[in-house]
């Protein structure tokens, strides 16, 4: 490909993706499948004739490792990599670490969606508090979130997009941005100038590159697997029919673990 552009990539699957847990800023490693997805993404980049001038990742190891594996597969060891905390996943606050399916069963569909969209803050002294983790020392203490909505995540990433990433691509560079699902959803909403809530339930698959052409302002999915994610492809083409994520079937008996989670959620007023 000639000219400037941005390739967006969600990191390979992490261990907590596979466990269906709220992850956010918790620094979870890639799973073996996630490592394979990073290499497969590199193969798509080769097929598309992509050669990167600059790579951006978050400061979370799942995005950093994805970049390492992808660039190794491309046999490109000298491309500059910038790790920006502003590209970190949306902070899930008090939901961090909880099972998504069990939380849905415990609090019900309506409350689950409210919590997912605007999570409760982390409790003081939480083991998931990034302010207590030296790995996030680059983040100004006042900027460390203890829970974020999609809109707050969009506000966080906007300056980096407008002042750094987009200007690099506009200057003719091919830029790779590796981040997480909800951060990318929020960024896509900003790029496409659509309401953030329009992307809340649009899947962004692990390891599936998407190309943004700066000159035309168009976005398209790359690779042979693009057809399997038509919803996202339709969205960027303005043709999406957005549907809610699948709901857990009702009528199941409450397990001991679900009951404990429900009581814990009620006690925390979440």
Catalytic residues: 11, 89
User: How far apart are alpha carbons 206 and 132 in whole angstroms?
Assistant: 29
SS3 21: strand
**In this structure, what token pair is assigned to residue 243?**
């549907």
Which of 169, 159, 223 has the alpha carbon at shortest distance from 9?
A: 223
**In this structure, what token pair is assigned to residue 220?**
């398209």
User: How far apart are alpha carbons 62 and 119 in whole angstroms?
Assistant: 22
Do 184 and 8 touch, CB atoms closer than 8 A?
A: yes
Do 190 and 217 touch, CB atoms closer than 8 A?
A: no
Do 95 and 25 touch, CB atoms closer than 8 A?
A: no
């Amino acid at each position: 490909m000639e000219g400037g552009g941005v390739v967006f990539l969600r990191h390979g699957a992490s261990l907590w993706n596979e466990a269906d847990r709220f992850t956010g800023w918790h620094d979870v490693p890639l799973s073996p499948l996630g490592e394979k997805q990073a290499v497969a993404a590199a193969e798509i980049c080769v097929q598309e004739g992509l050669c990167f001038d600059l790579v951006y990742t978050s400061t979370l190891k799942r995005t950093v490792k994805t970049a390492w594996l992808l660039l190794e597969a491309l046999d490109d060891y000298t491309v500059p990599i910038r790790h920006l905390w502003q590209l970190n996943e949306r902070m899930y606050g008090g939901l961090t670490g909880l099972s998504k399916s069990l939380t849905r069963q415990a609090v019900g569909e309506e409350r689950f969606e409210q919590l997912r969209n605007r999570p409760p803050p982390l409790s003081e002294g939480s083991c998931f508090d990034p302010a207590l983790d030296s790995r996030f020392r680059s983040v100004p203490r006042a900027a460390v979130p203890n829970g974020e909505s999609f809109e707050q995540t969009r506000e966080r990433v906007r300056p980096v997009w407008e002042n750094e990433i987009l200007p690099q691509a506009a200057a003719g560079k091919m830029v790779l941005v590796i981040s997480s699902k909800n951060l990318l959803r929020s960024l896509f909403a900003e790029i496409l100038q659509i309401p953030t809530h329009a992307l809340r339930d649009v899947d962004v698959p692990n390891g599936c590159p998407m190309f943004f052409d700066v000159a035309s302002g168009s976005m398209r999915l790359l690779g042979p697997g693009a057809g399997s994610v038509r919803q996202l492809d339709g969205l960027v083409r303005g043709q999406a029919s957005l549907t809610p994520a699948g709901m857990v079937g009702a009528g199941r008996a409450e397990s001991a673990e679900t009951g404990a989670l429900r009581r814990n959620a009620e006690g925390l007023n979440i």
